[in-house]
Amino acid sequence: MTNEGDVAPLDVLILGSGVAGLSAAIQAAARHLRVGVMTKAELSQSATRWAQGGVAAVLGGDEDSTDQHLADTLAAGDGLCDLEAVRILVEEGPGRGEEPLDLGAEVMRGAAARVVPGP
């Protein structure tokens, strides 16, 4: 038991409240760990929110499309991307895209999906 104003001890402290941070927090909590999430500002100011939650992945396993996605991501990163990290992102992206859905995230797909102005 803690006194008012005390902070209970944590097993894990997640830095960041975007989709990656919150996914990690959910996974840790599912393993019965005591989890805290620290964010730099309000929850609505996460990088995920600014990116409008968009997810890009190559679906269908077309090798040419995978290579193009890799090239596009590296170009968009303007020299700041780690090649091996981007390669993993592109290769694992299609499978990982289902994880938020498994956690209960609601998404729009196909014609229903559209870009909306950021905050």
pLDDT tens-digit series, residues 53-80: 566 777 776 667 889 989 998 998 889 9
Q: Do residue 40 and residue 69 come from a single domain?
A: no
How many domains does the chain divide into?
Answer: 2
Asked whether residue 94 falls in the same domain as residue 60, the answer is yes
Residues constituting the chain: 119
Mean pLDDT lowest among 31-35, 52-56, 64-68, 92-96: 52-56
Instruction: Quote the pTM value.
Output: 0.55
Provide the pLDDT confidence category of residue 81 given band limits of 50, 70 and 90. very high
Return the CA Rg of the chain. 18
Q: What are phi and psi of 87, to 5 degrees?
A: -60, -45
pLDDT of 115 higher than 50: no
Structure tokens at 109: 């797909």
* Helix extents (H) in the chain: 19-30, 47-50, 63-76, 83-96, 99-102
Which of 55-59, 67-71, 83-87, 89-93 bottoms out in mean pLDDT, i.e. has the lowest?
Answer: 55-59
Residues 60 and 41 in one domain: no
Judge if 33 and 63 occupy the same domain. no
CA distance 48 to 68: 23
- Domain span at residue 77 reads 55-108
Which residues have a Cβ under 8 Å from the Cβ of 11 and sit 6 or more positions away?
Answer: 28, 33, 34, 35
Q: Within this chain, do residues 78 and 32 fall inside the same structural domain, yes or no?
A: no
Residue 34 pLDDT class (50, 70, 90 cuts): very high
